[in-house]
């Protein structure tokens, strides 16, 4: 298990996930991020097209970012290659 962090970036502000979440791998982190985005959008107030989630791994390296505005598809058919890869640690 590795610890992943899920930051929400708006450009003007950033909410850091300081606690993180233990997950088995990058694929599980991808699925978890999509689920959190979906739940936040369903709760309201997260429809700004600038919002994105930045996922970092236990090495504090950004492994992908997911725009909140993207179409959400849940399930095992999603791979992290569908995300926007970031080459280095992301500070938001």
- Residue ranges making up the domain that contains 21: 2-82
Assigned domain for 89 exists: no
Say how far apart CA 15 and CA 46 lie, in whole Å: 13
Q: Enter the pTM of the model.
A: 0.75
Confidence check: pLDDT of 86 > 60: no
Assigned domain for 91 exists: no
Number of domains in the chain: 1
Assigned domain for 92 exists: no
Assigned domain for 64 exists: yes
Can you give the pLDDT at residue 91?
Answer: 52
Q: Which helix (H) or strand (E) holds 38?
A: helix 26-43
The CA-based diameter of the chain, rounded to the nearest angstrom, is 33
Assigned domain for 88 exists: no
Assigned domain for 44 exists: yes
Say how far apart CA 41 and CA 35 lie, in whole Å: 10
Q: What is the pLDDT of residues 34-83, one digit of tens each?
A: 999 999 999 988 888 899 999 999 999 999 999 998 765 544 333 343 44
Instruction: Tokens for 14, please give them.
Output: 């950033």
Assigned domain for 69 exists: yes
Can you give the pLDDT at residue 71?
Answer: 61
């Amino acid at each position: 298990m590795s610890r992943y962090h899920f930051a929400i970036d708006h450009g003007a502000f950033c909410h850091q996930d300081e606690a993180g979440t233990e997950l088995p791998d990058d694929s599980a982190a991808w699925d978890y991020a999509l689920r959190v985005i979906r739940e936040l959008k369903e709760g309201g107030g997260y429809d700004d097209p600038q919002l994105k989630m930045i996922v970092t791994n236990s090495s504090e390296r950004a492994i992908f970012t997911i725009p909140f505005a993207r179409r959400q598809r849940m399930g095992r058919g999603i791979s992290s290659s569908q995300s926007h890869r970031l080459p280095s640690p992301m500070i938001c």
